[in-house]
Amino acid sequence: MNFPKLLISFFFFTFIFGCSEKTTYSGKILNQEDLSNINIKNKNELLNKFGKPSYIDYNEDKYFYYTEKNKSKNFYSKKTEYSYLFIFEINEKDEIISTKSINLLTDSLDIYEKKETENNIVERGLLEKIFGGVGPNPNQLPNSQ
């Protein structure tokens, strides 16, 4: 008699708590005010308002902030409310010279993936492609074709 009550209570609690809505944040947690009011002039203001960036590109002095909000009722229904990538480019005086906001749900990412690395294998012959070059060429550096 104790086992059926335990089983019924287990299904009852699973039914009640399995349907509750769960909100999950990824990256920086930003509210609607932060998303709509990005008027930042320098690096110190940026770090004070958003905190440490998700990624820093030291070669081009760019700071990347990623934020995403998901809502799910159970593991079958998951909805992404928003997903943004904010890019801030900073000059040597710690001033923000450009900002870019990318909505990862609606923006086409094709314009960001158009860079292609040059393919030198097509220009080389079959033996050079197989053996990696036959003898040194004093007029050329490796991979300088």
pLDDT of 23 strictly over 90: no
Q: Please, which pLDDT band fits residue 11 given cuts at 50, 70 and 90?
A: confident
Residue 113 lies in a domain: no
Query: Mean of the pLDDT values across residues 42-62?
Result: 90
Residue 17, pLDDT score: 65
Residue 56 lies in a domain: yes
pLDDT tens digits, 64-96: 999 898 888 776 778 888 888 888 999 999 999
Report the chain's C-alpha Rg in angstroms: 26
Residue 13 lies in a domain: no
Residue 29, pLDDT score: 79
The share of the chain scoring above pLDDT 90, in percent, equals 14
Structure tokens at 118: 């040059």
Residue 29 lies in a domain: yes
pLDDT tens digits, 94-120: 999 988 888 888 876 655 555 565 655
Residue 50, pLDDT score: 85
pLDDT of 56 strictly over 90: yes
Residue 25 lies in a domain: yes
Residue 96 lies in a domain: yes
Residue 15 lies in a domain: no
Query: Mean of the pLDDT values across residues 128-138?
Result: 60
Residue 62 lies in a domain: yes
Helices (DSSP H) in 20-77: which residue ranges?
32-36, 43-50
Domain count within the chain:
1
Q: Report d(CA 57, CA 62) in Å as an integer.
A: 5
Task: Name the residue range of residue 63's domain.
Answer: 20-108
Query: Coil, strand or helix: which one is 12?
Result: helix
